[in-house]
Structure 1
Amino acid sequence: MTDAVITAGHGDETEAEVAERAIDEKAYGFWIYLMSDAIIFALLFATFVVMSHNTADGPGGHTLFRLPHTFAETMLLLASSTTFGFASVAIVAVQRWRTLTWLGVTFLLGLGFVAMEISEFYGMAVAGAGPWRSGFLSAFFTLVGTHGTHVSVGLVWIVLLGCEVALRGLNPFVASRLYRLGLFWHFLVIVWISVFSVVYLPGIL
């Protein structure tokens, strides 16, 4: 059912009530998606833990990972979660341009995170520590790369919804999409904290 369609069989409901019910159904469906995504990441974490010592006499985390670099990535993503929170406050207050401003800041922080991650991957690959080198590196690139891909999708989503806010304003359907984007973005921040704690810190220490 699209946002503009009111299904038959609900003649006793007003248009606003049907719209609200549709928004609730979409939010429920998105929670199911997030749970399925969490399962995927849990499997990737489990695979990494199993493969973490299978370096095939190649480089391990203690020689590849740089704590200042990873810490900077983490700060960028945490800051982006905060700025998205400010955008959410602006959405509730129906402040279009403030919402766009904070979404723009969130986008820039997320873009910086992705750029640093690509730089890290490129440097490792050039040094001969690509995903083909060992089971450890295959698991690392798969886990961290999957997260980075999710963040990249989130950036595209921010741009699309930002354009929609600029053109259509903060009507209930646009606000509900921003709410779901917020869930997705904060979920990725939580996953990254797990990556930092499970992948990088043990590898460095």
Structure 2
Amino acid sequence: VTEIMFFGGLFMTYIAYRGAYPDAFAAASQKLNTTEGFINTLVLICSSLTMAMAVRCAAQGKKKAVVWLLFATMLFGLAFLGIKADEYTYKFQHHEVPGANFAPEDLNANVDHASLYFALYFGMTGLHAFHMIVGIGILCFILRGAMKGIYTPAWHTPVELFGLYWHFVDIVWIFLFPLLYLIDVHKGK
């Protein structure tokens, strides 16, 4: 519940400022790479699938499948973070990070309002990435237990509870992607 309230507050802040500065937010959103955002969405949907399958296999006592599915989930999570790191690197190289060096090229908008958009972008996606990093850390622990064979049909609660966490993080991205990347994509064409 606290995570929902926290992300909910960020979403409401974004919506309020987007309503106040629609032109600057639309122009700034055109600087995002929708292809990388879309690929990351597909990666996370695949990670949710492998996580759900891991929970099911744990409930059925399929130990080898649980290990492989948890490992696949981890790889999808790492792929997401790698793509996000590439996107962040591009933003740093092109001065699209709020601060003293903020000077995005070809931005037809108020720079201060565009800076606010990017501050929210980095804050929201950075917090999401932090949750992914924490999730991968927990996943290492869960995976180690799966390799030892401690999860059985009678007791697989850690896998199931972690699955809920993982799905929550994925759902947050399902809202972040259209809100940040797609909501104004038609204005750039």
What's the TM-score once normalised by structure 1's chain length?
0.76
Percent identity over paired residues: 24
Query: 1:96, CA displacement in angstroms?
Result: 1.2
Q: Which residue, out of 124, 133, 148, partners 1:167? A: 148
Query: 1:92, CA displacement in angstroms?
Result: 0.6
Structure 1 residue runs of 4+, over 4 Å off? 54-57, 171-174
Query: 1:131, CA displacement in angstroms?
Result: 3.1
Pair 173,181 (structure 1): closer, same or farther in 2 beyond 3 Å: farther
1-structure distance, mates of 2:155, 2:96: 44
Q: Which residue, out of 40, 44, 56, partners 2:6? A: 40
Alignment check: 8 A CA contact 1:48 1:143 kept:
no
Query: 1:51, CA displacement in angstroms?
Result: 3.1
Code of the aligned partner of 1:146: L
2-structure distance, mates of 1:154, 1:98: 20
Is 1:108 aligned to 2:89, yes or no? no
Code of the aligned partner of 1:108: L
RCO comparison, higher one (Cα < 8 Å, 6+): 2
* Map of 1:30 onto structure 2: none
Code of the aligned partner of 1:193: I
Code of the aligned partner of 2:122: F
Q: How does 1:74-93 map to 2 (within 5 A)?
A: 74-93=41-60
Q: Structure 1: any 5+ residue segments left out of the alignment?
A: 1-34
1:155 match: secondary structure = helix
Count, aligned residues: 169
Query: 1:204, CA displacement in angstroms?
Result: 2.4
Pair 103,80 (structure 1): closer, same or farther in 2 beyond 3 Å: same
Alignment check: 8 A CA contact 1:48 1:139 kept:
yes
Q: Structure 2: any 5+ residue segments left out of the alignment?
A: 103-114
Pair 140,171 (structure 1): closer, same or farther in 2 beyond 3 Å: same
1:60 match: secondary structure = helix
Query: 1:55, CA displacement in angstroms?
Result: 8.6
Q: Which residue, out of 116, 135, 148, partners 2:116? A: 135
Code of the aligned partner of 1:99: V
Code of the aligned partner of 2:3: D
Code of the aligned partner of 1:51: Y
Pair 86,139 (structure 1): closer, same or farther in 2 beyond 3 Å: same
User: Can you list the C-alpha shifts for 1:106-152, whole angstroms capped at 9, x where unaligned?
Assistant: 11111101111111111111100013241111111001110111011
User: Can you list the C-alpha shifts for 1:26-48, whole angstroms capped at 9, x where unaligned?
Assistant: xxxxxxxxx11011001111122
2-structure distance, mates of 1:173, 1:61: 48
| Structure having the higher Rg | 1
Pair 203,49 (structure 1): closer, same or farther in 2 beyond 3 Å: same
RMSD: 2.1
Alignment check: 8 A CA contact 1:55 1:136 kept:
no
Alignment check: 8 A CA contact 1:165 1:174 kept:
no
